[in-house]
Amino acid sequence: MTLQKIVTTQDPKTLNIRFWPTDICNFNCEYCFPGSVLNKFKYPKNVDTVIRNFRLLFDEYIEKHNKENFYLNIVGGGEPSLWPHLNYFCENIKKDHDVFIKMTTNGSRTLRWFEQNTKYIDKFTMSCHYKDVNIDNFIKNCDWIYEQGKEPGTLMLMDAKNWDKCKEYLNKMLSDSKYQWTIQAKEVVDAPGLDIASYTEEQLEFFKQPLKRIPESTWILDNLNDLNIYESIALYENDHAVPAMSNHFIGRQENYFKGWKCNVAIENLVITHDGKITGSCQEEIFKDANLNLFSEDFEEKFNRSKLDLKPIICPRNCCSCQPDTHITKHRIE
């Protein structure tokens, strides 16, 4: 069967934004995506300006594009917990708009740091990296997050070359954690040469069921509205529809979308380390607008910019970021 279309399960009234506040990281993962961990931009210090500019962006999408809420994923390519203004930013960005905050982190900070700096974060993705993780500290932090009612969706990054070590840490999470939080095995496909073809048949079989643990049934029932097991619907020839989990397209090598029409500007944005506003795949979507969210003159430039929020024709051969594969898109014959 040939894939024809992908339809996201994301609420059409929600704008998903990935915000990279820093390119500094305390880990050194060889599979981190190209252009990450440059230690060049550090982090924005004019945090009140950044908050004000975010609000202008929110208002634009509310007034012109029928968005009502914002899913803000504070994420890496750098480690976001190293941003000194993180807690202040999270507290204030929520004041005037409906903003749900998720932080994707390597979980390396102390339990005390999590206790003092994550009050306004609604959800976590905890990424476990075999090379640098302190697995006991990682598990302790995940248990604490679970105790706060904020289930830590945990990703075990499965490096093909260091498979046994990755499985060792995954098994330790299964055996040593106090609570039954989610654990998902994730392929490493972001760096050149580290695509799905790097894995053996046995390893690929391991990924066919990426969820290695889910919370107990009582937690699932209490949080049913927050669960999003299927991130999109895959439509094949003859109207054959398949619910797609996170690794559906990458695992099947169906993540080649060059020439497809993609809703990236409408559904997903990225604010990069230097304040640039792009599509989530870092494609130029505001070609006539030289906008920088960290800039003091953002409001002046923003007000006279025309944001052309239309689907784009995908220029990339391979889409290696799992969230991006689930953006609504369709084949153009």
- Structural domains in the chain, sorted by start: 13-230+267-300 (3.20.20.70)
Inform me whether the pLDDT recorded for 306 exceeds 90: no
CA 319 and chain centroid, separation: 14
Mean pLDDT over 216-242 rounds to 80
* Residue type at 180 in one-letter notation: Q
Under 8 Å CB-to-CB from 11, ≥6 apart: which residues? 69
Quick one: how far is CA 107 from the chain centroid? 15
> What pLDDT, in 10s, does the model give residues 238-260?
889 999 988 888 888 898 999 99
pTM, two decimal places: 0.89
Model confidence pLDDT, tens digit, residues 129-185: 999 999 999 999 999 999 998 888 899 999 988 999 999 999 999 999 999 999 999
pLDDT in tens, 289-302: 567 899 998 888 77
> What is the spatial distance between Cα 147 and Cα 323, in angstroms, rounded to a whole number?
27
Q: Which residue has the higher pLDDT, 24 or 80?
A: 80
Buried b (16+ CB within 10 A) or exposed e, 58-88: bebbbeeeebeebbbbbbbbbbbbbbebbbe
* Dihedrals phi, psi of 332, to nearest 5 degrees: -110, 120
Average the pLDDT over each of 25-34, 73-82, 111-120 and give the range with the smallest value: 25-34
